[in-house]
Amino acid sequence: MIIPIFAAGMMKQGFFFIILLVAGVFPGKSQPLTIGGRVMDDVMPVAGATVEIKKLKKTAVSDTAGYFSIPHLQPGSYLIHISVIGYEPFHESVRISENTNDKVFNLMPITSSLDGVVVTGTMKPVQKKESPILVEVYTPQFLRKNPVPSIFEALQNVNGVRPQLNCNVCNTGDIHINGLEGPYTMITIDGMPIVSSLASVYGLFGIPTQLIDRIEIVKGPASGLYGSEAIGGLINIITKSPDKAPAFTFNAMTTSWMEHSLDAGAKFKIGSKTNSLLGVNYFNYQKPEDKNNDNFTDVTLQHRVSVFNKLHFQRKGNRVASLAGRYFYEDRWGGEMQWNRNFRGTDSIYGESIRTGRWELIGNYQLPVHEKMMFSFSATDHHQDSYYGKTAYMADQKIYFGQVTWDKNISTDHAALLGLAGRYNYYDDNSTATKDTITGNNQPEQFFLPGIFLQDEWKPNSKHHLLFGVRYDYHSVHKNIFTPRLAWKWSLNNKQTIRVNAGTGFRVVSLFTEEHAALTGARVVEVKEKLKPEKSYNVNLNYSTRITGGKTALNLDASFWYTYFHNQIIPDYLTDPNKIIYANLDGYSVSRGITLNLEGNVHKRIKILTGITIQDVAKFQNNGAGKKVKHDILLTEKWSGTWAITYTFPAGGITVDYTGNIYGPMQLPLVSSLDPRRNTSPVWSIQNIQMTKKISSALELYTGIKNLLNWTPAKNNPFIIARSHDPFDKSVQYDASGNVLPTSENPYALSFDPGYVYAPNQGIRMFLGLRMTVK
């Protein structure tokens, strides 16, 4: 009896053991779970966003506070898709093992949304699609498609805009818009003109990109609103508000050329009524390369640091009050591979060494009155300690600017903007530019430029928007300067718009601060006359349309421009190969062309931004016989194109960006009639590819290749720098008139010249970076 009872007990226990084992291996259906959270744009909720788990065909829509909830889910990983008009499609893989209701999904505004707000065209915040002035907008998402350590390089993918290097040795440069050289473009930070003249060469380096909210570009004269220097266009770099900026941002990148960059930003509170945004930009490149074997550095060595801080003060009635400051220091050099700091300023080993220190201050204060009146100011101090070979160039510049504006709504369809502005310029250096022509004593350049402007906007009906503006400035030397402008926007329907802008511009030239070629190389600078201010007359016609169908959305715009210049100052490299001659043009010059831009989004996976510019930029000069002869402008391409193509793999959290540009031929400056270098550039292109992996909502890893084609100007050219083996021209022989003689040692009658440059000398390279954003 005992054995059967024991056996029965064992069987019963085994039965229960088997049931427990089976239950463990083959679990039953779990309790359904819910995933919920909030859709946000920084600190603002996004209502009406569609939240999907496509493989389960489950959908939810965020409410007015941004909240959503998707119930009846099993534990596991799900790919969340979020879409809403005006924002980039969002994809993130989420794993759930319990009910989740606190997930936050941050969306990014679309790169060039028509609903975005712009301020540059009219100096007032207005929706981009409502602005009578065409304003192009580029956001941080655009900058990330081709990560670079400076704004200067980032603009290479903007149609009609070309960063132009001006020297093969020190790699300084400027920004060309529609074929016009850098001094014709005004560069502002938060609308303040602190990047100009001496700083225009370096002003686009060292701005912390993590703090940039957007870049607004106006092509064509804006002198009627912004005064001198905005004769050809305007680039306004708008920084983030401390109130809306992420808590912390970080971006670090390195390349196979051993270039290291770091960009970081953080916001914090000072007391209960002050928000602060702090940013740091650092760049270091200390590994000389000579891939083209001319014994000169291909890329300038640089050590740069910039610190930026912006404060926003809370006031009654939400009135504006902000103060921002930046300090910038850079030490750069290029030259012969044997150069070191012991050779600075000597004539044994050639090098160009530039040390730059500058500080900037920007402020905005809304006056405590019932009317909308704003006081804006900026101040900058720039010091440059530099040697170009054995030529010393020591310069100081101070610019102080103040402006009061009154934005008055006269009626629901009529508004006016009245402004008073004053600008003080101080410039001093050790060159002939600041020497008294009679006594020879040093005489720093100083002038105060007061101005007054009025802008009147009128909307006679829903389809038409008219703008008339006029500005008056008084220059102590050039006296009265008058610059009117007119704009008309015609909305054909809710998708098609025509804009017509016309106006004049003026520019007071500061020769040595703008023309780097006047300081480098062996050419002698000759100023033939007292230079008069340049004047321009411009008209711009733009047509834009939006095309939608299915899952495809396209934005297309086409522009035609024509600009006529009087008194233009164009450096003459061709009349005498040993000189750079500066004089007001005896004749006139013209810039005209057409530009096309296409932006598209296909199936929310493929994004395309591409454009092409065709232009004719030339001067018409008297030939002495009463006829005007056309001459093409040096270093100006006939056509160019840009593209940025992005493809997203949502499941893997991977994005691929293919970016590039292409440029048509341009005329190049030769040193002599025997110079064997090409007198026109070939068609050339810089192309890049990048892959970005989204690790989490806060972290991204990116890598890629720059200059995929490994293209440099040295290809199909015997050399780039003329007489790089004799940079001090110690073996050059001259005739009685000072002209270089051809000899057996110098068969092409050349002198040292690093100014033959139209494209970067840096070839193919890999890059790797890490990006973090903590909301």
- The DSSP line for 146-195 is S--SSHHHHGGGSTTEEEEE--TTT--EEEEETTB-GGGEEEEETTEEEE
| Interatomic CA distance for residues 264 and 250, integer angstroms | 4
349 φ, ψ (degrees, to nearest 5): -120, 130
Q: What is the pLDDT of residues 738-767, one digit of tens each?
A: 889 999 999 999 999 898 998 999 999 999
Ranges of beta strands (E only) in 42-127 are 44-45, 50-53, 58-61, 67-73, 76-83, 90-96, 100-106, 117-118, 126-127
Q: Are 302 and 282 in contact (CB under 8 A)?
A: no
Q: Are 382 and 358 in contact (CB under 8 A)?
A: yes
- Using alpha carbons only, how large is the chain's radius of gyration in Å? 30
Write down the pTM of the prediction: 0.84
Q: Are 204 and 150 in contact (CB under 8 A)?
A: yes
- Please tell me the predicted confidence (pLDDT) of residue 10: 44
Contacts within 8 Å (CB) and 24+ apart, 74-77: 74/29, 74/30, 74/32, 74/33, 75/30, 75/33
Q: Are 335 and 297 in contact (CB under 8 A)?
A: yes
| Interatomic CA distance for residues 432 and 407, integer angstroms | 44
Task: Name beta bridge partners: 538.
Answer: 503, 563
Region of residue 222 (phi > 0: left; psi between -120 and 50: alpha; otherwise: beta): alpha
- Please tell me the predicted confidence (pLDDT) of residue 396: 92
On the 0-12 / 13-18 / 19+ scale of CB atoms within 10 A, 187 is: buried
What are the angstrom distances between the C-alpha of 382 and each of 80, 197, 357, 397, 445?
50, 10, 6, 5, 15
How do strand 524-527 and strand 579-582 relate by DSSP bridges?
parallel
Residue 542 in tokens: 């733009």
Smallest CA-to-CA distance from 332 within 187, 186, 173 is with 173
- Please tell me the predicted confidence (pLDDT) of residue 518: 52
Low-confidence ranges of the chain (pLDDT < 50): 1-28, 111-113
On the 0-12 / 13-18 / 19+ scale of CB atoms within 10 A, 9 is: exposed
| Interatomic CA distance for residues 353 and 210, integer angstroms | 29
| Interatomic CA distance for residues 608 and 643, integer angstroms | 7
Residue 475 in tokens: 């220059």
| Interatomic CA distance for residues 179 and 387, integer angstroms | 30
- Please tell me the predicted confidence (pLDDT) of residue 566: 87
